A and B are shown apart, each in its own frame.
Chain A
Amino acid sequence: MGGVRARNESAWLLPNDGTRTHHALRENMRTFADGDEVDVVIVGCGAGGATLLQRLARAGLRVVALDAGPFWDPDRDWVSDEAGSHHLYWTEPRVITGDDPVPLGSNNSGRGVGGSMVHYAGFTPRFHPSDFRTRILDGVGADWPIRYCDLRPYYRDLEEELPVAGERWPWGDPHGYPHRPHPVGGNGEVFLRGARKLGITAKVGPVAIANGRFGNRPHCIYRGFCLQGCKVNAKASPLITHIPDALARGAEVRADSMVTSIEVDQRTGRAKGVRYVRDGRPHFQRAAMVAVAGYSIETPRLLLNSASSRFPDGLCNDFDQVGRYLMVQGAPQTAGRFDAEVRMYKAPPPEVSSEEFYETDPAKPYKRGFSLQTVSPLPITWAEHVAAQGHWGRVLRDYMRDYVHWSCLGALCEFLPQPGNRVTLAQETDGYGLPVARFSYSQCDNDRLLMRAAQAVMENLLRAAGAGEVITIDRYAHLVGGARMAADERHGVVDADCRTFAVPNLYITDGSVLPTQGSANPALTIMAVAARAADHMAGGAR
């Protein structure tokens, strides 16, 4: 592991005395004045933004990352409780619409340093090589301007930095993981048993939870609250995997700073910096380069809210590409009832997965595929699953009393990118007076076929494992796209290096740039894309 520490010292910069935050590192952090022209200002300090910050700081650039939310201290700010974790989510107003509107809030993006990875589950699979060429291979989706092999070295590096634990991975580009697989709890046991019965290959992992001590990060205590923020520092999020090293290398993290627009010099067409609000006061941070990494909804919204005389329809939106091709994964969730006690709340929700159905199967009436994973909802989320069956009152309570007997799996179905699935601006404004995002989603036939196919496999699997009753609800997960990477400005917003076509010193380095999503959870790929963009930016791309 000496190699990792030399590249990224974060895990060794955390305290090893049972507390979780290196306060002195934050207090003594280098700071820049608004009028100081920094090399790069980054909007958003989540998966993409924090990775970029650490890489650029390592390269010696003067960088500051602004985040709308707080600079979390897991000891003080996070609780081992579902309802008490509401403050981790982005809960500013948003409007949803379309034929299949996608509920947001707790199920989507986060707010604060670390971004959505603070409360993500922790599955960190790679994309498959085919994900970068779905149009050529399958006639659907889009082809990326980069290939899998362009990301492979970044995947490998990041898997060591998080670090990722899991069995040797047989799918996509087969690879191993730096940490051994975790022992599984009841839900993982059920998944493995059912898969074995049906001859489906399932593997433990890949999860960004250290198996054993990693630097000063302790071992997971299998308490099951990964989606509420890990108070242990066992589960990876940029707050502990990239921010400490960035600070130690002279980067600034400016929390509680909501960016309201990106300013472009109307004469030169270059970005000058960002306007933001902190402590109720407007500020302007000057910068030689700007990178936006605010999540697939806030990034397009910020571009649209940064209209000017040069860009009357929104920044980088001359070809009406901003906000389009947003994708969610169809995430049907199937639960099965066992006479034995499963107690799925014990152990991390991310335990076991299968990518056996990931690729296009020519025998099937649909293109592309889905993956299967353990999900293990806690009581409130489980109640939503039961209530979604139409149960309420006494019947709902009776189902809920049975909680310890249920096992729960989720699929991630590769929904296809469609131009009409997009973010636009609503009439309504938020507390800063800015129009809020209006997010429209409608499924296509292929999407619906995948949902039903995944449901059938999960129900069979749980029955094979011995379940009596099985119940399924339709859900969605993981928004990506909205400012996609493409070969030219008529098909996307950024080029292969995440540089916007319209403004030469403006980059987008978050999940927004993904042209397709596969059926893998996106965080590792978002980090890999950001790390690759960092190499380009640090290489003197001004």
Chain B
Amino acid sequence: MTQQKQLPVLTPRDFESDQPVRWCPRCGDYSILAQVKKVLPTLGIPREKFVFVSGIGCSSRFPYYLNTYGFHGIHGRAPALATGIKVANPDLQVWVITGDGDALSIGGNHLLHVLRRNLDVKVILFNNQIYGLTKGQYSPTSPFGKKTYSTPMGSVDNPVSPLVFALGCEATFIARSVDIDIQHLTYVIERAAKHRGTAFVEVYQDCNVFNSGAFEYAQDRVKKIDNVVYLEHGKPLLFGKDKKKGIRLDRTTMKPEIVDVSKVAPDDLLFHDEKAEEPTLAFLLARMRYPEFPEPLGVLRAIEKPTYDEMVNAQITEAIEKFGPGDLEKLFNSGDTWTV
């Protein structure tokens, strides 16, 4: 489009608002903000078409720090806000910034429905496994037995896995990355931005104050080698030093197992297929948890389906094409009328 050619070349600075960023020192949120700012100017979308929506929590302050349209909403409801915005104006690129408590506890219902509807929005879930803003209670993703201010003897709640939840909703795009894994995070955010439909990204985010080190196993340069596996479409799942370890599917138990790559035929390894409509293998991967397994990072699933906003608006067009544009006076005068 000619209009796009005239667009000023934007830089990350153009997306910076005049508000001072107020997260705690060394909070993982800083890195996520930086990567988003890096990706936005590369998308060829004018700045005024971005809308960042959030709920409540540390992560939900995000929209204030970007010089786009922004709506800091109420706890858990960001997906519903985004639905109103996107259905009203599908021309906008709408992002939802949320946290584990916001998205999976108070807002679990809204997340479920935005994912199943496949509304064309990008959802980034900052998972720090804790309530930060309210000063350190356990969250729906905190591990079983977690000791916090509200669980002095350890929590007896089983945690929910964001990826498994998203798969259960049959989301069309599901990915995971880590706050300080800068290159990988940039890649995943870019992929999410370019996906048509609900893009769901879980980011492991360190809460330096209330849950420091919760993801050290996936952040530390050395430790992560054995603890995460990077997903690449069409490639086998390999990890560990020199990628000597792989994941194989035990076809009798239907469970994944870690194998020594040198001891199995390459075709025996599990290959990643992000485009698979059938989500069973993705489920299997999403359920691989540290420390038993390396945890998958990258794009777990990316399939194409019509988007909600597109279909809602297509019905409007279809109705107008079929019956002509609405005429209120004609409507008022239809049916049984009488004149006095």
A and B assemble together: no
Which residue numbers of A lie inside 8 Å of B, CB to CB? none
Which residue numbers of B lie inside 8 Å of A, CB to CB? none
